[in-house]
Amino acid sequence: MEKIKAVYIHIPFCNSICSYCDFCKVVYNHDWITPYLEKLESEIDNSYMGEEIETLYIGGGTPSCLSNEELTKLFKILDKFKKSKTIEFTFECNLNDIEEEKFKFLYAHGVNRLSVGIESFDSEKLEFMKRESSFKDAKKKMALLRSIGFQNINIDLMYAIPGETVKTLKNDLKKFLKLKPEHISTYSLIIEKNTLVGLNKIKPIEEERDFKLYETICKKLKKKGYIHYEISNFAKKGYKSKHNLTYWNNEEYYGFGVGASGFVEAIRYENTKSLTEYLKGNTTSSKSLMSKVDNMENELILGLRKLEGINLEKFFDKFEENMQNIFPIKPLIKNGDLIYKDGYVYINPKKLYVMNEILLKLI
């Protein structure tokens, strides 16, 4: 069995809650931080088996809302991990938390990749999302991060907001590109029922316009030298997210913290989304042992998110099965949904947008 090389840690605290966010989060409260970090530490002590870790990802919530003192406590816990010399160590942050002392601390403690939640610079989109971002501020903060030494920065872009036009999106893309990030993650708005947007019964934009916006993003970023390597992710050469590739390659990983999920020794698990339960020590809410069939299906569903697709030889090495004998691949190659080339099967780039429909035909 392959060793686990990736760790995700969830910090659920935020200074404010965005209208669309369905992640496990609570408004920052200083009194909860120490008890939370204590439970996080004991979860790690109980589960981590001492492997050398190649990717470590601190997500949320908004990890950057922690004070310098709280971050010091968190990083003491992170010292428990045996880290590879070439580790990709990502930390999520918001623009308004970026200040010199805090980010010098992160850099000095091994963080070498940042993921900055900007989402948009358009005032109407920001109002809808209940967020704040100014381009002037972003330019200043990015310059600060570069001066500290950060050379691998992702920024998040949100699109398909009700009322959004191609022109609005192009303006956002233009500003995002001026910030020269190494990586851009794009998210089409999904309306989840337990969010402010969902409770207000907001309707998603029509599929045709959503597709047009997606197409605009793909064309523009490709033109600017970004590699479209996963359905929603674009990177400059050498800057694909190694951590996220762990998920898409269906490899095992640890997930620690409230609302985190993990995949360890063929068991997929989800932690409780209730902070109260987590603080009581009731960590895990569900566990499922993956059968060989489950695992092959996940390999297919996750692997086809990557534009390079799935390597048939690697699939065979992993499962001792020919993928084309398990799933109806050949008819979908015949009708143009899938393409087979150089030992890889991947979704026809022209049909990426209807990926879910293609997966339904396969499984």
Of residues 108, 111, 66, 70, the one with CA closest to residue 89: 111
pLDDT at 202: 65
Q: What is the pLDDT of residues 11-48, one digit of tens each?
A: 998 766 555 555 555 766 889 899 999 999 999 999 99
Contact 26, 278 (CB under 8 A): no
pLDDT at 64: 95
Q: What is the pLDDT of residues 220-256, one digit of tens each?
A: 999 999 999 999 999 999 999 999 999 999 999 999 9
Of residues 279, 248, 18, 238, the one with CA closest to residue 126: 18
pLDDT at 191: 59
Cα–Cα distance for residue pair 353/337, rounded to 1 Å = 11
CA distances from 189 to 77, 198, 203, 244, 356 (A): 34, 11, 11, 20, 16
The token pair at 220 is 């523009």
Q: What are phi and psi of 227, to 5 degrees?
A: -90, 125
pLDDT at 310: 97
List the chain residues with pLDDT less than 50. none
Q: Is 31 helix (H, G, I), strand (E, B) or coil?
A: helix
CATH architecture, domain 6-248:
Alpha-Beta Barrel (3.20)
pLDDT at 188: 83
Cα–Cα distance for residue pair 226/179, rounded to 1 Å = 14
Cα–Cα distance for residue pair 347/219, rounded to 1 Å = 18
Query: Domain extents for the chain?
Result: 6-248, 310-363
Q: What Rg, from alpha-carbon coordinates, does the chain have?
A: 21
pLDDT at 148: 98
The token pair at 69 is 């003192």
CA angle centred on 247, ends 65 and 288, rounded to 5° = 100
- Please give the DSSP secondary-structure letter assigned to residue 152: -
Cα–Cα distance for residue pair 188/285, rounded to 1 Å = 28
CB atoms within 10 A of CB 202: 17
Q: How many helices and strands in the chain, by DSSP H and E?
A: 15, 17
Sign of CA dihedral 169, 172, 176, 178: positive
